[in-house]
Structure 1
Amino acid sequence: MSIDRLPQLTDAAETPRLVIKVGSALLVGKDGEPRRAWLTLLVAEIAAARARGQDVIVVSSGAIALGARKLGLARGGRGSLADAQAAAAVGQIALAGLWAELLAAHGLIAAQVLLTLEDLEDRRRYLNVTATLGTLLAAGAVPVINENDTVATEEIRFGDNDRLAARVGQAAGASAVLLLSDIDGLYDRDPRLEGAVRIPVVRGVTPEIHAMATGGSSSGLGSGGMTSKLQAAEIAGLAGIALAIIDGRPESPIAAALGAERGTLFCPPARSGRKARARKAWLGGKLRMKGSVTVDAGAAAALARGSSLLAAGVKAVEGSFLRGDAIAVLGPDGAVVARGLSEYDAAECAALMGHPSTEHEALLGYAPRSALIHRDQLVML
């Protein structure tokens, strides 16, 4: 099945599993208190989705904002990393309790899941998240997910729940991700400018699409902006998952936006080979690379045809990485063209680069592997 219209997100046949992301500015008012009336209506929509046969996973922001008010922290708890961690520790209890209470009113069980970047970057931990979410959904629970901001640091954190929602969608095998935002979609320029036009459907996030994005969150509460939403759309697309941005501000926002088909839908590209797609989607969605290799035009063209990366086409090696680490592949112009798991560590890559395979055994002192990055461990971007 292919999702190419917003109303399909409420069709259990087309979208059997849906991830809904709720931003801080929607869930928490300017007074630092939860917007209970709005959230009550959203939970009713989630309950309706469950009643028509859809699995629903919620990715909910708001813990830092809620905790900041309770602790009396300035700048909504985002004045420093220490403030954010302290606010999250307090706010997460309030946030989980709020979701549990409102879902229980519909006979639904909330399950809190706190994740860090490493939980989804490490393959084994990623598969554990997949298994846990599958078990919870099979048992009829509604997972409510947030980044574990109490322990996450600047170096090991998503930083926004847009990308987290896309990665959760991958791990859960979702059909679509729905981002409830304080804007009703992607515009061809800053939506505050006269003549700005909303783009209803995007087929492929190109450099031209990225150029339309603005980086900041208009609310001042959230940590993401349109740039993070486009990154989320790319992550989702690699897994064959549709992603939509809608205006979350109205009451019953899902019905309001999808009924009027007002928002932006990012359609995933066609992918083949489900098993390969699952692993490559995880690899393509990784946010941290341990290093990079730069390749010449011939190697870049060979990769585009589905070949493995051979050391002969490598012109430069950067970073400190080991065999099995994820690295970026840069084209001649410095743009990232692929990501893959290296068959060698950085020092070995540096020794082999530019040399044909026939010379590798003499250079290494042992029988070489078939490629620097095998095509089964490589994803084109």
Structure 2
Amino acid sequence: MTTALPGFPPALVRRLVIKIGSALLVDPAGEVREGWLRTLVADVAARRAAGQQIIIVSSGAIALGARRLKLPRGGRGSLEDAQAAAATGQIALSQCWAGLLGEQGITAAQMLVTLDDLENRRRYLNASATLERLMQLGVVPVVNENDSVATAEIRFGDNDRLAARIGQAAQADAVVLLSDVDGLYTANPHVDASAMLIETIDKIDARIAAMADGGSASGMGSGGMTSKIQAARIATGAGAHLAIISGKVDSPLSHWADGGRGSIFLAAPAKRARKGWLAGRLTVRGRIIVDAGAEGALARGNSLLPAGVRGVEGSFARGDVVDIATQDGRVIARGLIEYDSDAATKIAGRRSEDIAALLGEMPRSVLVHRDHMAMI
């Protein structure tokens, strides 16, 4: 893929995901910031006219619904309030997007997804196929988390990571997160005047992760810089660039393309589709702790053998997704486990030829096969 350029121009980025948070789309009184949104829709129309395919990931349903239902704490006082607010606000949100896009001659489509829709392989492929067909038809999908049915345990919780997963499912070239800050800083710029913007990030290491601040400045949204860096891991691992730019200006995409500031996380080489899906998952069932020898073997492209395992955590069944971590806690891979947690515990640290004696059979010689594993 071509090296990222500020603005993600249509000539270089064929398919773009744009994420808009609640604090940008909804004002403190719970009304849509329609004047600002019109400028963004005009940006979208201009990019489409230049040949770029656009997918929108839009927050705002809970904030809009809370005002209509007169719920306290912006509708986030309880899971039940959030679900009711989302169900009410989603109608208003979709009507707003359909109307403004329609004024530009653009057909909008609504897609509501849950975390489980993208963590389940079959439903993930269904979502991917739907997005692809909408792109072929010239439609702009407007995607949001289905908060009316999502539970506290099984939800994205923020649309930054949702945007990255949608980008992966749609095989997008880039993702843009419109934010209340204009990129990643060395410290929180709201409280530290010496903080400096980092314009290009080619690798997300511990130093970059340490710069994140988990708070949402507006109190209206659910994400912070931590969620944006997590989103960047997913997007870049899927071969897409990810940018964080300011949404606090009119025509934010044009402003950025004309020299506005922002941070770009550069794409890594894309993994094969199944391995990319594995690496981008947000939920796992357990963790396998490995020694240095196994870590080196995995880095060389080998499968995980029982001999290199030093610990088994969690309760899982064969075929579940597990993390593979070093003894100091670094997650280095993710894969589909070949044994349930009880059997994995019994054979941990043992040679493959000992499995039959320990379990009464030896159906498989590896714990995680390299074809079902993604390095992280």
TM-score grouping bracket, smaller chain normalisation: over 0.9
Bigger shift: 175-184 or 343-352?
343-352
CA distance in structure 2 between the aligned counterparts of 1:216 and 1:367, rounded to whole angstroms: 49
Residue aligning to 2:332: 337
Partner Cα distance (1:194, 1:170) in 2: 36
Counterpart of 1:298 in structure 2 is 293
What corresponds to 1:216 in structure 2?
Answer: 215
Cα distance in 1 for partners of 2:330, 2:177 equals 28
Are 2:273 and 1:278 aligned? yes
Structure 2 CA distance for aligned equivalents of residues 251 and 76 of structure 1 = 25
Q: Which residue of 1 aligns with 2:234?
A: 235
1:207 aligns to what? 206
SS of the aligned residue for 1:257 comes to helix
Q: Distance in 1 between matches of 2:295 and 2:62?
A: 44
* TM-score (ref. length: structure 2): 0.98
Q: Aligned partners of 1:170, 1:370: CA distance in 2, in Å? A: 32
Partner of 2:306: 311
Report the equivalent of 2:262.
Answer: 263
Distance 2:76 2:353 in 1: 56
Residue 3 of structure 2 is matched in structure 1 by 3
Decide whether the 8 Å contact of 2:204 with 2:233 is kept in 1. Answer: yes
Name the count of aligned residue pairs. 375
Which residue of 3, 6, 29 corresponds with 2:27?
Answer: 29
Amino acid corresponding to residue 375 of structure 1 in structure 2: R
Following superposition, the deviation at residue 324 of structure 1 comes to: 0.9
**Equivalence map 1:152-167=2 (5 Å):** 152-167=150-165
CA deviation profile, 1:116-145 (whole Å, cap 9, x unmatched): 000000000100000111111111111000
Task: Tell me by how many angstroms 1:153 deviates.
Answer: 0.6
Determine the C-alpha separation between the residues in 1 that align with 2:80 and 2:117.
21
Deviation of 1:367 (Å): 3.3
Q: Quote the Cα distance in structure 1 between the aligned partners of 2:290 and 2:266.
A: 30
Q: Mean alpha-carbon deviation: is it higher for 314-323 or for 178-187?
A: 314-323
Distance 1:3 1:248 in 2: 24
Cα offset, 1:261, TM superposition: 4.5
Whether 2:360 is the aligned partner of 1:361: answer no
Shift of 1:369: 1.4
The code of the aligned residue for 1:70 comes to R
1:154 aligns to what SS in structure 2? coil
* Letter paired with 2:133: T
Cα RMSD, aligned residues only: 1.1
Deviation at 1:77? 0.8
Equivalent positions of 1:85-104 (< 5 A) are 85-104=83-102
Instruction: Return the offset for 1:2.
Output: 2.5
Following TM superposition, the consecutive aligned residue runs of length 4 or more in structure 1 with deviations greater than 6 angstroms are none
- Alpha-carbon shift at residue 362 of structure 1 (Å): 2.1
Shift of 1:75: 1.3
Name the amino acid aligned to 2:67.
R
Q: Distance in 2 between the 1:95 and 1:144 partners?
A: 10
SS at match of 2:184: coil
Unaligned stretches of 5+ residues in structure 2: none
Return the offset for 1:154. 0.6
Aligned counterparts of 1:230 and 1:326: Cα–Cα separation in 2: 22
Instruction: State the shift of 1:270 in Å.
Output: 2.6
Residue in 1 aligned with 2:110? 112
Give the Cα separation in 2 of the matches to 1:351 and 1:142. 51
Q: Percent identity?
A: 58
Cα distance in 2, alignment partners of residues 344 and 203 from structure 1: 36
Instruction: Measure, in 2, the Cα distance between the counterparts of 1:30 and 1:203.
Output: 36
Distance in 1 (CA, whole Å) between partners of 2:137 and 2:374 is 34
Within 2, Cα distance between the matches of 1:302 and 1:327?
18
Query: Which stretch of the first structure deviates more once superposed, 228-237 or 341-350?
Result: 341-350
- Map Cα deviations across residues 273-315 of structure 1 (whole Å, 9 max, x no partner): xxx5211111011111101111111111111121111011111
Q: Does the 8 A contact of 2:238 with 2:268 survive in 1?
A: no
Range that drifts further, 154-163 or 130-139: 130-139
Give the C-alpha shift of residue 355 in structure 1.
Answer: 0.8
* Code of the aligned partner of 2:5: R
Cα distance in 2 between the residues matched to 1:172 and 1:358: 43
Specify the alignment match of 2:282 in structure 1: 287
Q: Does 1:136 align with 2:138?
A: no
